[in-house]
A and B are shown apart, each in its own frame.
Chain A
């Protein structure tokens, strides 16, 4: 279906679908019969009361608006620092940190595979020096840090460096606030980086939860990430089921193996995707809260309403924006943010309209903030909680999604939990089946994507400006400067202290102790991330380099 000639035909068109994005059939009208058996107290409840279908706070956005968040991830710590300060001044209330793709993979910039991705998607935070620069002049206590670092080592080292920096500045670490993804199962399926083997990743996940609860009670040590999985091409019920199943796995293990009580945890935080299907997205957030409230009670023994509630942070779907006629992305992102607000989420991170060309430009970032200000202050949508509650269609869809996700959860339970589902390949099959089906429908034009497989047309001057404005990866010369920086750091730091601290870290790994404290101490004397990953791996009986391309530095080879 190419529409070059028909784009201006005002009577052209006709819906091609009768199902939602996740292929849930939709009737042409809904009525009271669709709500048969619906019980307000049991299935909806007032906002702020279990099962929290209508939102987790009685006042919802009248009490406080959602957190306006986005990843700030420029190439150098200096640029990132300037951007943080600028965005804070523009009203941003949470700082989201993302390291570059190489560091996220668990190596230093001088690793032979790193050269391509140094400074791509973030800055190379290979040692505490980089955090010192990145957060220079920014208060560390009581600000919301959201770690967007999804890999097992990425989540681990964001926390390690933040706590190390606070202690170095004599700040009170119990006032560290924010969230850490720390969701290794999703990382294996989406990122597939091998720096920690599954058994090691499982242990680090629990170490972070245990240490976090004891020492940084305002920090969420594990906030399972449905977003990345969704963006890899699965459906809403799968996203809901997998994110809840991962939470049950990690927190269930922490309770069973680390002697923490589930009631000690702050409310659960899930990161999810706001997709283009408007009502399905709204219903998904409502259904997720309801299903989580039940699972927390039934599976984890939650007794207080607080521990049955889940906060939902969203990112708008990165895979829904397209490079063809990029001006159209403003419409997609606006609808997705509106769906998130109508769905009662707590934190919103929209895509940049130019994000298919590079990192979002500063103007595109400001647009994301302004878009949220417009929804908050001009549209008046947030004035009342869950405005669509009671809608025949939305309530019915909420129940459909919950039922489908609950069935998947049962199956995961039968299969022995998410680690088992990862190990057996069941999870991979779930992904493959969904992506094949969705892609097939796109190819067959049973799903229309304006500008891409339908309604194509040339870019005009506005779209061309969007393409040109996107932030580009810096020059190779500048990027390779990070290689020089890590080499210099290794020459100027206290080598004996590094060796001693890494030795202590290795001992903690071997003796089965929680490794968070000894990693923080190693970070404080400027051990690099690659060295710390390698030390942990070797003490666990693995070779130094996860990618089998380099051997351990001389000073670590004792006992390899």
Chain B
């Protein structure tokens, strides 16, 4: 829950053809168990579709997953779409196989978390709650 008491709304999905969806399935369950509302967009999506769905569903957070090592490109496209569609206030977090050297660039564009496999779900949940609450403070 956010500090104002509303349930956090998270959209989770994958951009491109990476078929590894065990992560998003497990996280969806974890987020729901933690009291969040989850919009599960699944895989084989474009950046534009992710952002349009996020706006339509009025989410607080977009959670992106990729196991092909191309989160930087995915995130660049998603952030550009958020900007273009005037939804820069939506938080973006990421996980999967993310090359170490791409993490500073991702953080710089506002994509945080950048978790690898085996990260405890409570750590990811805590991070999302913090991101949403710090946005509410701003």
Contact = CB atoms under 8 A, between A and B. Distances in A.
Contacts, number: 103
Contacts of A473: 68-70, 99
B118 A192 contact: no
Contacts of B43: 192
A430 interface: no
Interface in B82-128: 97, 99-101, 116-122
Interface in A457-478: 467-468, 470, 472-473, 476
Given A101-B68, A436-B29, A443-B120, A116 B19 contact: no
A102 B117 contact: no
Most chain A beta-carbon contacts within 10 A, residue among B18, B99, B118: B118
A232 B67 CA distance: 14
B16 A101 contact: yes
Interface string B61-82: 0000010111001100000000
A436 B30 CA distance: 10
Contacts of B68: 101, 116-117, 120-121, 473
Interface in A106-128: 107, 112-117, 120-121
A453 interface: yes
A114 B70 CA distance: 12
A217 interface: no
Contact of A357 (B30, B99, B122): B99
A192 B45 CA distance: 13
Interface residues of A, number: 43
A451 B44 contact: no
Contact of B16 (A113, A190, A476): A113
Interface residues of B, number: 31
Interface stretch (B5-13, B20-28, B52-60, B130-138): B20-28
A547 B49 CA distance: 13
A439 B29 contact: yes
B118 A453 contact: yes
Interface string A165-177: 0000000000000
A105 interface: yes
A435 B70 contact: no
Most chain B beta-carbon contacts within 10 A, residue among A432, A439, A468: A439
B19 A190 contact: yes
A190 B43 CA distance: 12
A192 B97 CA distance: 20
A319 B25 CA distance: 15
Contact of B117 (A107, A117, A233, A323): A323
Interface in A187-232: 190-193, 232
Contacts of B74: 116
Contacts of B25: 432, 435
B36 interface: no
Contact of B73 (A116, A439, A467, A549): A116
B40 interface: no
A333 to B, nearest CB: 15
Interface of A: 101-102, 104-105, 107, 112-117, 120-121, 190-193, 232-233, 319, 322-324, 356-358, 432, 435-436, 439, 443, 449, 451-453, 467-468, 470, 472-473, 476, 547, 549
22 contacts: A102-B16, A113-B17, A115-B16, A117-B16, A117-B17, A117-B68, A191-B19, A192-B21, A193-B44, A233-B22, A322-B116, A323-B116, A323-B118, A356-B97, A358-B97, A439-B30, A443-B122, A449-B118, A452-B118, A472-B69, A476-B73, A549-B46
Given A120-B18, A452-B119, 15 more contacts: A107-B17, A116-B18, A116-B70, A117-B16, A322-B116, A356-B97, A356-B117, A357-B99, A357-B100, A435-B26, A436-B29, A452-B117, A470-B99, A473-B69, A549-B46
